[in-house]
Structure 1
Amino acid sequence: MWSGLVVCLSLCLGVLGEGREEKLVRTHQGPVKGYKEPGDSVFEFHGIPYATAPTGDYKFQAPLHAPAWLSVLEAVDKSTICPQALIYNLTVEGGVQQENCLVASVYVPDTDQKRLPVVVYVHGGAYQVGFSNLQAPKNLARSKKVIAVTINYRLGIHGFLCLGTERAPGNAGMKDLVAGLKWVKRYISSYGGNPDDVTIAGYSAGASAVDLLMISPAAKGLFNKVIPESGSNIASWSIQIDPLEKAKKFAKSQGFENVDDVYALEEFYTSASYDVLTSDSFWDTTNFHFEFSPCIERNSEDAFLTESPYTILKNGKYKKVPMLYGFADMEGLIRIDKFDAWKDRMNANFSAFLPVDLQFENDDERDAVIQKVKEFYFDNKPVSKENVVGYVDFMSDLLFVYSMMRAANLHVNAGHDKIFLYEYNYVEGSTPIIPQSKEVRGADHCAQTFAVLDGASMYSGDESNISEEFKDVKKVMREIWINFITTGSPVPEGSSLPAWPPVGAGGAPYMSLGRTLQLRGALAEKQVRFWDSIYAKHYREPQPPPAPPTRHTEL
């Protein structure tokens, strides 16, 4: 369908006065010029519009078509970011927030090879913050085996207000990602990529997003492999449990009281100021949810998701494509900064720290679960510095580990036999120990992402000062990811790496990724059994917003 719309690649190479080599690509969208830094092997194209974000009364709807142009687009603008709260350094230096923020970056290796496999990376940030190149995939493109793409998508309220009304149906941010994948399908061959060999990858919320894309009918046929890094589509923070109630709560916090009239509520959001729409203090939530996130929509022609991810996985109603699936061994370190503030709150009211997707018929049921949790993670002692590792494990399991293992088991039960499961556990000797622990270190949230993509950490793109050992780990990790992107297997036939079969029943086997690679048995077996026993009795599936009442107009 798309092949007739794509123009063959046209290259114009030259050397600029600054020493940068340029590359001109012509597509039906318009000519685009990117550049390669001196001594590098990758051409970079930034700020390419892949869709148009609607504004005004329609700002919460699906994206509009991408613009076209006649003159050459100088693809050098890295500054565009979507509206968001400016916190936690998850913004680009010199970044400019704007509603029409739907742009892509493309990383093209300097090679004569055509129809290279493509990887599209989706950034993290709890669905609230971040931008397309928060973690750059340039080193993957330097392999000369793949083309890498990153994309912005609408965040927070702009991306995930879900009222179930015509003007705010829900999932605008996810529909942005679908539009981005359609843009890749249509135009990536002009950059030298293969539109029929696309892997979608993401980290943290980006992992949840690509996991949701995998099961959405709206994204079917736009990719053939998936890499969710530390995030699952059935995590409690991935889907709003009650999106209308969430919208009411936030509106009340801003002084709006007429929340039971859904059309008045819709008007509040469409007319709210930019500052109000980006004021959500999501990071302080204790119930393992980050406020505005994807939702279940009511049935409509352009809906992204109309059933809960749990139901879809359980019924096997999705296209099963190869998955590289896993997490770091101490993901809960992402919440270590909250320990001093939260330990006393946990001792006073532990129920506030139960996941939002658990429900109880009465206080006795809830208290029984709390008692089990305290015994499992804290030896039935008060949360304190003496059991800080139990706190980290609790956060790890409920934010990332259990939901990913639960999903993996649902996949296997549905007949999915191409999931390659791992735990990343490499830690440099210079990594600080967990405060108040006895020499305990661990791989932090999305540590595997930092090993694969550019830089030493989320906040540093520089790899010059990392240890030789970490450089070797990065080399192996990139080899595994590139193997999967190009073949659908992390260890294809003929590789020198240890054999890595797909996961089967019970979460076994999995690959331990650290200083060495070791194939092991069941992953997180004890935690999975514990939480399975609780979720089997108390799981609360997310629901779509109710149908709004018929709107009456005065004659």
Structure 2
Amino acid sequence: MWCELVLFVAVAVSRGAGLDVLEPRLVHIEQGPVRGYQDPSTGAPLPPPKWIEPIGEDKHIVCPQIYSALLMGKDMREDCLFANVYVPETKKNNLPVIVYVHGGGFQIGYGDMFLPTMFMKRHRKFICVTFNYRLGVLGFLCLGTKGTPGNAGMKDQVCLLRWVKQNIACFGGNPDDVTIASPSAGSMSVELLMLSKTTEGLFNKVIAESGASTGPIAVQIDPLDVAKWFAISLGFDSDDVNSDIYDLEKFLKSLPVDKLYNVTNAIINTNSTLGFVPCVERKTGFDVFMDKQPADIIKHCGYRRVPMLYGFCNMEGLLDIGMFPLWKSKMNEKFSDFLPADLKFSNDDEKEEVAKCIKYDYFGDKNISETTILQYTDYFTDIQIAYPMLRSAKLLQKNGHKEIYFYEYSYFDDATPVVPYTNVRGANHCAQTLTVLDYRQLTNPLANLPDEYKRIRDVCQEMWCNFILTGKPVPEGSSLPAWPPMQGDRSPHMSLGIEVQLKDKLLENRSRIWDNIYSNFCRAPEAPPAPPRRKCRRIPKRCCRVNP
């Protein structure tokens, strides 16, 4: 499926969680009828018929991706662009809509990876849409040619939002009141969707959870280089790697899907990149999703400023704790290999000197070891998630974006694992998402949850629901702590922990380190270079002798 825009072929429908009736609901949309069913236990979507012929259980279909535990019981296929619509039991129409973009580093995942049913069960005031989009090389190979301009996965997301605009009223939703939301790579996606000219009029609020468009994970720094080395790993002749880009394109398109996903770029690299992710595109005459780097789009105010609920967790770097045994010695040997990829230096000496300073800022005179694992966590928290969000927030606010509600989520309890080699606990990557969706209760309905957890869950759910309904997490008259939008220099922010309280600047000292680094050494993501003009093969003239 190398075409850039693919129509959605089916929609699964659920009427919500914890309801009393089981009769199906028939909804007529532009492409044809779909039927939704109620599941009284979980509210999960059940299989509808296809437009004309019945299909299998759509919720089990996922896009091609590298193997992971997420794929147990799933049907991986190229024909994978399915959506699920969750509708609450209510007689009201014109309901607000929230569209979740799943995370997974742009490499893995599927629409219903985290179900919204527990959130909707308590707040039956909105419709929720989840969906698949193409991942990895099929979603984000970016060669700058007309055949492979890039960002197929992002264009799938735009296609879904257009589908929602055209059809959500059939389900009782308001096509003019759509919030896009997501954790991790999905958070990067929703910020990119906000910055893209292709999404105008498709949503009016953004919830970004643990991921920003301006970080090294979000956008390929050099997409052609990524494609070349990926092709070499699959057998492309390294001697030809700098040859005609069309040979590279032909080689990759000739490979079967299963071979494309035998090689993985999903494990994060030491320079905080993931391989095939969104890219800056060349203008090829097609529907370009993004032709400038995100920071430039923000600086030139080339996007729509919609209300944003925006933040991250205090220990996002725990996402990389599994790499600690391997990386600790490598970081001591050559820390410069672990600098983010979106930095550039005039020479190796300058790079080593900057790396030495950054290492000292985080670890002092100590080696990276079990005794400094908290500093290790802080470092990866900052370079991958926290600082990109802090940087984006500052850029957005500086350039006139006035409705950014900034937060840090830091809740933990006895069920939260301790950081290895310590007795310290903190909120791991996307912990706020799991709290809002009440994943602890969803995965273990009989669990006896701590009262502290119930309190933070209820607070977060109320704030998120308020934002979906009004564009403000704490509207006037609420009993929650007042939460004004960010005023300047990343302040104020809401601290969501054991206590919920408004605070001033967030990570001020650590932000200052990276503000200085990026002001001097920032490397902008590049679009692929223009491919060479294809040579036309000349057909020699032939003389024909005609016998009389």
For 2:506 and 2:14, how far apart are their aligned partners in 1?
A: 51
Tell me what 1:100 maps to: 79
Contact preservation (8 Å) 2:14, 2:86:
no
Tell me what 1:259 maps to: 241
Tell me what 2:10 maps to: none
1:26-175 equivalent positions in 2, closer than 5 A: 26-38=28-40, 44=45, 69-70=51-52, 76-87=57-68, 89-91=69-71, 93-142=72-121, 143-175=123-155
Match of 1:356 among 341, 348, 354: 341
Q: Does 1:368 align with 2:353?
A: yes
Root mean square deviation, CA, Å: 2.0
Match of 1:384 among 351, 358, 369: 369
Contact preservation (8 Å) 2:335, 2:356:
no
Tell me what 2:433 maps to: 449
Contact preservation (8 Å) 1:455, 1:463:
no
Contact preservation (8 Å) 2:101, 2:181:
yes
1:282 match: secondary structure: coil
Write the deviation string for residues 503-530 of structure 1: whole angstroms up to 9, x where unpaired: 1211110000122310000011111111
Shift of 1:551: 1.1
For 2:467 and 2:205, how far apart are their aligned partners in 1?
A: 8
1:421 match: secondary structure: strand
Match of 2:293 among 286, 298, 308: 308
In structure 2, what residue type is equivalent to 1:193? G
Contact preservation (8 Å) 1:33, 1:74:
no
Deviates more, 1:484-493 or 1:31-40: 31-40
Flag the structure with larger Rg.
2
Unmatched tracts of structure 2, length 5 or more: 1-12, 540-548
Shift of 1:140: 3.1
Match of 1:232 among 209, 212, 215: 212
For 2:126 and 2:445, how far apart are their aligned partners in 1?
A: 21
Unmatched tracts of structure 1, length 5 or more: 1-10, 49-67
For 2:338 and 2:329, how far apart are their aligned partners in 1?
A: 12
For 2:386 and 2:47, how far apart are their aligned partners in 1?
A: 34
1:541 match: secondary structure: coil
Contact preservation (8 Å) 1:351, 1:366:
yes
In structure 2, what residue type is equivalent to 1:365? E
In structure 2, what residue type is equivalent to 1:276? K
Shift of 1:538: 0.5
What is the count of residue pairs matched by the alignment? 515
Tell me what 2:545 maps to: none
For 1:38 and 1:534, how far apart are their aligned partners in 2?
A: 54
Structure 1 segments, 4+ long, off by >4 Å, are 45-48, 73-76
In structure 2, what residue type is equivalent to 1:262? I
Q: Does 1:325 align with 2:310?
A: yes
TM-score (norm 2): 0.91
In structure 1, what residue type is equivalent to 2:446? S
For 1:47 and 1:547, how far apart are their aligned partners in 2?
A: 45
Q: Does 1:472 align with 2:451?
A: no
Match of 2:266 among 273, 278, 282: 282
Flag the 1:320–1:307 CA change in 2: closer, same or farther, 3 A.
same
For 1:365 and 1:78, how far apart are their aligned partners in 2?
A: 51
Q: Does 1:412 align with 2:404?
A: no
Contact preservation (8 Å) 2:467, 2:474:
yes
Tell me what 1:5 maps to: none
TM-score (norm 1): 0.89
For 1:185 and 1:453, how far apart are their aligned partners in 2?
A: 24
For 2:232 and 2:356, how far apart are their aligned partners in 1?
A: 34
Write the deviation string for residues 52-111 of structure 1: whole angstroms up to 9, x where unpaired: xxxxxxxxxxxxxxxx8357x679531100000012x233x3101111110101110011
Match of 2:276 among 292, 295, 306: 292
For 1:519 and 1:338, how far apart are their aligned partners in 2?
A: 34
For 1:12 and 1:309, how far apart are their aligned partners in 2?
A: 36
Flag the 1:252–1:75 CA change in 2: closer, same or farther, 3 A.
closer
Shift of 1:157: 0.1
Shift of 1:403: 0.5
For 1:236 and 1:201, how far apart are their aligned partners in 2?
A: 21
For 1:231 and 1:353, how far apart are their aligned partners in 2?
A: 19
Contact preservation (8 Å) 2:14, 2:37:
no
